[in-house]
């Protein structure tokens, strides 16, 4: 706060500060702006050194390095006992030590950036994590040196790194929203468990004395805890209808019991879980977004305070165009001058040359609106040989390629290709047809490149052009490699062939893009993609923890013998306890916790249907608690939050069209007659108009209206209708948004 006041005085008193000081101010302001833009909430020291260090701290290179080391640290599980690829202990230990050193260095860097007192309040989790890791490594290393067996228990904490680093804000947010929903979920869960207990008691009384047997010949529904577990598994639908068959076979009347059970526990309770999770998620997210928006406005106000100048006595402080433009160049060096001027004209519609606080504060959001700048260049061939490129046949070719029929033709070719792929490739006619299709697809891309300006064709936003080209070129290379291998050694590599097949099939996806209505759905899915990544991290954290615990608990209980193995243990997964069980009979032996990859696959299977009979048989009935806990955590909580997120994202897509700010940018683009027609990069038409009377500007803009630079922008848009854009003065005074980093 002090620093701010200093700044204020400085700027109003003397307008002619030297360049160096001005640079420092711009540094500080640009840090505030980019913090606001990316919703970073780090309370950094505002001394010049700390600001420079902070800018370095936020450098993408260092962040990528950090994530790479986290990845290395997490993937150590592949090489440690029980390993997929065993490495000696010293190797994994030293890599882990290196990782810890890197994380510590990052933490020290962080400590230099933020004030000392703030530091010791916040990142205690992280340093505790390191201390625990080092302690564990020490204990485990010495135990192993003494040839004792030990447990690497600190591995369970590894994924928490993803949560606790400064960049894990969204993940922390997801965890917070789960934590806030927990009391409500717990309430419904208790009721749900009560219902299962009541049904189990009823089942015990109804069936235990009837002497029924399951298909395995085991007594049916005689043990209360076994019944509770069986009925819980029925809720996950894993043992339906097997669990009901013995009772149903003995009398049709008993089906009523199971029908009521399924209705109450599967349909009603599961819907109620979704409702509770969804409701809490929405409520909590709204609050989070409100805080984020407040923090953002506060940061922008601080940036304004650094840059502001008073035009006269009693006049409102303003920021000049010159300073604003230098600020923007510093924050986003990649955007073009024209784009910058466009943004300025949105902020300063009356062309006063200065903007006030309210207009300045929009900047962070303006920078998040993705404006595609299209340089209206003529086609390179036109420069090279204008006479030929503009000749009549060439123009005819262009109009053919741009015709709707061209798209339909290629859709038909793709469909024909699909049929050929489905047919047997042993037939030489069919295997040779692949060359024909490859040539046709290549030709299509070349034709498009002939018509469209190459840099426009391969601009960052043309997802499908990139997709097409990469798939076709990769398929071409793979096919050539495959036939080269075949002709040189007579040997067909199964792996290469697999890749060829996958690429061929992927090419078919293109057909979706040419149908408008499908494209809309696909685009929504692509758009929520980045946000789904947050859930991916969430799932990774939970899976990793469960995999580590599961490996310690169940490692080696179930053995997998390769399909060629002749060992007699093969039929019962190497564990005599599994003899004649459904687990062994279904050949589930590879569903085990013997190494980390198998554990992850098994956990995925458990997410879909929770079937774990094999592990409770080989260890102890209490092992079921692990599976129960997994089901509650992943299916009841996380999957429901995921569904809630997808629902909310689709509702936003259906209801809100564009934000106000986007509209104002778009209006400005239209005003300035810089808009681009729907037909994305149509250089041919421009060619015509360049010859015509109306000279069009060489630079056009287009809003990538339905894409978001950041996930936060999407989430923010979900709730922005409820936020009052004017309440920012109030926020500035009660600056009570603490630094939420490290507050898991």
In the window 577-596, what residues touch a second copy (CB under 8 A)? 585-591
What is the Cα Rg of the chain in Å?
32
Closest distance to a second copy from the beta carbon of 95 (Å): 23
> Of the ranges 56-64, 238-246, 366-374, 397-405, which one interacts with a second copy (CB under 8 A)?
238-246
Closest distance to a second copy from the beta carbon of 266 (Å): 7
DSSP alpha helices (H): ranges in 332-462? 337-347, 357-361, 363-368, 380-384, 386-389, 392-401, 404-422, 428-451, 454-457
Distance CA 160, CA 168 (A): 10
Per-residue string for binding with a second copy, 160-189, x by CB under 8 A? ---------------------------xx-
Residue 22 or 513 with smaller CB distance to a second copy:
513
Question: Contacts with a second copy in 142-161 (CB under 8 A)?
Answer: none
Q: Tell me if 436 contacts a second copy by CB under 8 A.
A: no
Distance CA 64, CA 34 (A): 18
Give just the sign of the alpha carbon dihedral 381, 385, 391, 394: negative
Q: Tell me if 496 contacts a second copy by CB under 8 A.
A: no
Q: Tell me if 138 contacts a second copy by CB under 8 A.
A: no
Residue among 56, 135, 512, 625 that touches a second copy (CB under 8 A): 512
Question: Contacts with a second copy in 77-106 (CB under 8 A)?
Answer: none
Closest distance to a second copy from the beta carbon of 14 (Å): 56
Distance CA 460, CA 370 (A): 11
Query: What are the beta bridge partners of residue 373?
Result: 701
| Burial classification of residue 287, based on how many CB atoms lie within 10 Å of its CB (0-12 exposed, 13-18 middle, 19 or more buried) | middle
Going by C-alpha positions, the residue among 350, 348, 373 that lies closest to residue 363 is 348
How many Cβ atoms are within 10 Å of 676's Cβ, its own excluded?
Answer: 18
Question: Contacts with a second copy in 29-88 (CB under 8 A)?
Answer: none
Tokens of 25: 């101010």
Q: Tell me if 651 contacts a second copy by CB under 8 A.
A: yes
Closest distance to a second copy from the beta carbon of 631 (Å): 13
> Of the ranges 153-161, 171-179, 248-256, 364-372, which one interacts with a second copy (CB under 8 A)?
248-256
Closest distance to a second copy from the beta carbon of 241 (Å): 4
Tokens of 163: 């949560």
Question: Contacts with a second copy in 601-630 (CB under 8 A)?
Answer: 601, 604-605, 608-609, 611
Q: Tell me if 206 contacts a second copy by CB under 8 A.
A: yes
Distance CA 334, CA 371 (A): 12
> Of the ranges 35-43, 166-174, 241-249, 445-453, which one interacts with a second copy (CB under 8 A)?
241-249
Closest distance to a second copy from the beta carbon of 533 (Å): 12
Question: Contacts with a second copy in 259-318 (CB under 8 A)?
Answer: 259, 262, 266-268, 271-272, 274-276, 278-279
Q: Tell me if 509 contacts a second copy by CB under 8 A.
A: yes
Q: Tell me if 381 contacts a second copy by CB under 8 A.
A: no
Find the Cα–Cα–Cα–Cα dihedral 224, 225, 228, 229, rounded to 10°: -140
Residue 272 or 680 with smaller CB distance to a second copy:
272
Residue among 344, 642, 708, 719 that touches a second copy (CB under 8 A): 642
Residue among 6, 23, 341, 498 that touches a second copy (CB under 8 A): 498
Residue among 63, 127, 180, 240 that touches a second copy (CB under 8 A): 240
Distance CA 414, CA 505 (A): 10
Q: Tell me if 205 contacts a second copy by CB under 8 A.
A: yes
Residue among 91, 201, 385, 412 that touches a second copy (CB under 8 A): 201
| Burial classification of residue 485, based on how many CB atoms lie within 10 Å of its CB (0-12 exposed, 13-18 middle, 19 or more buried) | middle
Question: Residue 210 to residues 205, 222, 246: CA-CA distances in angstroms?
Answer: 10, 9, 11
Question: Contacts with a second copy in 386-425 (CB under 8 A)?
Answer: 418, 421-422
Which are the contacts of 546, defined by CB distance < 8 A and separation ≥ 6? 599, 603, 626, 630, 633
DSSP string across 553-595: HHTTSS----TT---GGGGGTT-GGGTT-HHHHTT-TTSSSSS
Query: For residue 630, how far is the Cα from the chain centroid?
Result: 22
Residue 266 or 723 with smaller CB distance to a second copy:
266
How many Cβ atoms are within 10 Å of 431's Cβ, its own excluded?
Answer: 15
Residue 174 or 367 with smaller CB distance to a second copy:
174
The footprint of a second copy on this chain (CB under 8 A) covers a number of residues equal to 79
> Of the ranges 310-318, 516-524, 616-624, 656-664, which one interacts with a second copy (CB under 8 A)?
516-524
Question: Contacts with a second copy in 664-723 (CB under 8 A)?
Answer: none
Please say whether the beta carbons of 242 and 233 come within 8 A.
no
Residue 422 or 446 with smaller CB distance to a second copy:
422
Q: Tell me if 249 contacts a second copy by CB under 8 A.
A: yes
Q: Tell me if 656 contacts a second copy by CB under 8 A.
A: no
Q: Tell me if 474 contacts a second copy by CB under 8 A.
A: no
Distance CA 321, CA 328 (A): 10
Closest distance to a second copy from the beta carbon of 206 (Å): 6
Q: How are beta strands 699-703 and 371-375 bridged, if at all?
A: antiparallel
Q: Tell me if 446 contacts a second copy by CB under 8 A.
A: no
Q: Tell me if 505 contacts a second copy by CB under 8 A.
A: yes
């Amino acid at each position: 706060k002090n620093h701010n006041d200093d700044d204020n005085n400085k700027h109003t008193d003397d307008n002619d500060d030297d360049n160096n000081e001005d640079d420092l101010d711009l540094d500080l302001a640009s840090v505030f702006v980019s913090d606001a833009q990316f919703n970073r909430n780090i309370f950094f020291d505002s001394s010049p050194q700390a600001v420079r260090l902070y800018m370095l701290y936020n450098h993408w290179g260092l962040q990528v390095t950090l994530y790479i080391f986290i990845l290395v640290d997490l993937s150590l599980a592949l090489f440690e006992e029980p390993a997929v690829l065993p490495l000696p202990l010293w190797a994994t230990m030293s890599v882990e030590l290196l990782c810890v050193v890197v994380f510590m260095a990052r933490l020290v860097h962080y400590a230099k950036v933020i004030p000392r007192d703030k530091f010791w309040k916040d990142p205690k989790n992280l340093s505790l994590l390191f201390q625990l890791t080092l302690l564990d490594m020490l204990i485990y290393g010495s135990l192993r040196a003494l040839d004792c067996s030990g447990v690497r228990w600190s591995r369970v904490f590894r994924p928490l790194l993803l949560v606790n680093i400064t960049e894990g804000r969204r993940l922390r947010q997801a965890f917070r929203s789960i934590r806030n929903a927990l009391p409500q979920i717990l309430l419904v869960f208790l009721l749900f468990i009560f219902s299962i207990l009541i049904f189990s008691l009823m089942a015990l009384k109804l069936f235990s004395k009837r002497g029924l047997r399951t298909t395995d010949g085991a007594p049916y529904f005689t043990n209360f805890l076994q019944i509770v577990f069986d009925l819980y598994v029925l809720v996950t639908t894993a043992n339906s209808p097997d669990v009901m068959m013995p009772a149903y076979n003995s009398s049709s009347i008993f089906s009523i019991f199971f029908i009521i059970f399924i209705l109450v526990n599967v349909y009603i309770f599961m819907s109620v879980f979704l409702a509770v999770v969804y409701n809490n998620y929405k409520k909590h997210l709204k609050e989070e977004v409100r805080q984020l928006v407040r923090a953002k406005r506060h940061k922008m106000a601080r940036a304004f305070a650094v840059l502001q100048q008073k035009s006269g006595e009693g006049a409102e402080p303003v920021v000049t165009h010159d300073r604003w433009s230098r600020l923007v160049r510093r924050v986003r060096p990649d955007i073009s001058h024209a784009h910058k001027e466009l943004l300025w004209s949105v902020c300063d519609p009356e062309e006063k040359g200065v903007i006030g606080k309210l207009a300045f504060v929009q900047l962070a959001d303006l920078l998040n609106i993705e404006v595609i700048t299209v340089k209206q260049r003529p086609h390179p061939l036109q420069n090279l040989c204008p006479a030929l490129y503009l000749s009549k046949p060439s123009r005819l070719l262009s109009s053919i390629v741009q015709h709707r029929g061209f798209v339909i033709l290629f859709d038909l070719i793709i469909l024909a290709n699909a049929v050929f792929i489905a047919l047997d490739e042993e037939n030489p006619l069919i295997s040779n047809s692949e060359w024909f299709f490859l040539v046709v697809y290549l030709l299509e891309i070349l034709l498009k490149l002939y018509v469209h300006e190459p840099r426009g064709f391969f601009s960052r936003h043309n997802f499908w052009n990139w997709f097409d080209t990469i798939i076709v070129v990769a398929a071409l290379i793979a096919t050539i490699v495959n036939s080269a291998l075949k002709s040189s050694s007579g040997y067909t590599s199964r792996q290469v062939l697999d890749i060829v097949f996958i690429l061929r099939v992927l090419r078919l996806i293109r057909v979706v893009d040419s149908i408008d209505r499908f494209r809309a759905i696909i685009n929504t899915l692509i758009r929520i993609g980045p946000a789904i990544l947050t859930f991916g991290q969430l799932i990774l954290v939970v899976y990793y923890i469960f995999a580590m615990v599961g490996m310690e608990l169940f490692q080696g209980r179930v053995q997998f013998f390769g399909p060629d193995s002749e060992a007699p243990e093969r039929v019962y997964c190497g564990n005599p306890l599994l003899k004649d069980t459904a687990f062994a009979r279904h050949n589930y032996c590879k569903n085990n916790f013997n190494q980390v990859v198998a554990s992850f696959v098994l956990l995925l299977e458990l997410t879909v249907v929770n079937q774990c009979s094999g592990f409770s048989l080989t260890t102890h009935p209490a092992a079921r608690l692990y599976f129960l806990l997994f089901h509650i955590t992943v299916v009841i909580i996380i999957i429901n939050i995921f569904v809630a997120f997808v629902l909310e994202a689709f509702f936003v897509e259906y209801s809100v069209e564009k934000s106000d700010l986007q509209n104002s940018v778009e209006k400005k683009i239209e005003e300035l007659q810089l808009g681009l027609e729907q037909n994305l990069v149509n250089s041919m038409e421009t060619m015509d108009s360049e010859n015509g009377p109306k000279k069009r500007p060489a630079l056009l803009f287009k809003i990538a209206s339905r894409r978001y630079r950041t996930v936060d922008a999407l989430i923010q848009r979900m709730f922005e209708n409820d936020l009052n854009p004017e309440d920012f003065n109030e926020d500035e005074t009660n600056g009570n948004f603490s630094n939420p980093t490290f507050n898991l």
